[in-house]
Amino acid sequence: MRNGLMAAGLMIASVTGAQAQDAEIRDTITRQFDAFKLDDFATAFSFASPDLQRFFQTPQNFGSMVTQGYPMVWRPAKVDYLELREENGTFWQKVQIVDDKGRVHYLEYRMQQTPKGWRIGAVQILDAPGAAV
């Protein structure tokens, strides 16, 4: 009985920790979307990982890349968070974005834990489910 209670307690703590992590990751991505909607590229840039910040060097360079290469991220009409997966210690958050023309896009955010919290290390556009290759 005692071992069963301890196991149940560990499972609850594990689930609670995973839910908190999931919420923190979603919050980071959401706050970046909010900054993009205001054209606040400095704040949006602050949610990028240190490696991305070094690569783009300035919020202006980062903003240009997003507005030109990821317009659905810059101006999403609707955002839905799908599954969060962990692969070899790396967390990937799948996101469904509907753009201002009603098109659906699927992206995956590679998340990186830093001393300042979760940061976005990369974003990749995925093929839509059922799309022919």
pLDDT > 90: percent of the chain: 77
Average pLDDT, the chain: 87
* Residue-level pLDDT at 20: 64
pLDDT(13) > 70: no
**Which residue ranges make up each domain of the chain?**
2-126
Whole-prediction pTM: 0.81
pLDDT(131) > 60: no
Contact 108, 87 (CB under 8 A): no
User: CATH for 2-126?
Assistant: 3.10.450.50
**Closest alpha carbon to 102 in 124, 81, 78, 82:** 78
* Residue-level pLDDT at 14: 47
DSSP run (H or E) holding 125: strand 117-126
Tokens 């609850």 sit on residue: 12
Q: What is the DSSP letter of 89?
A: T
Top mean pLDDT of 14-18, 20-24, 46-50, 123-127 is at 46-50
Identity of residue 70: Y
HEC string of 1-57 equals CHHHHHHHHHHHHHHHHHHHHHHHHHHHHHHHHHHHHCCCHHHHHHCECHHHHHHHC
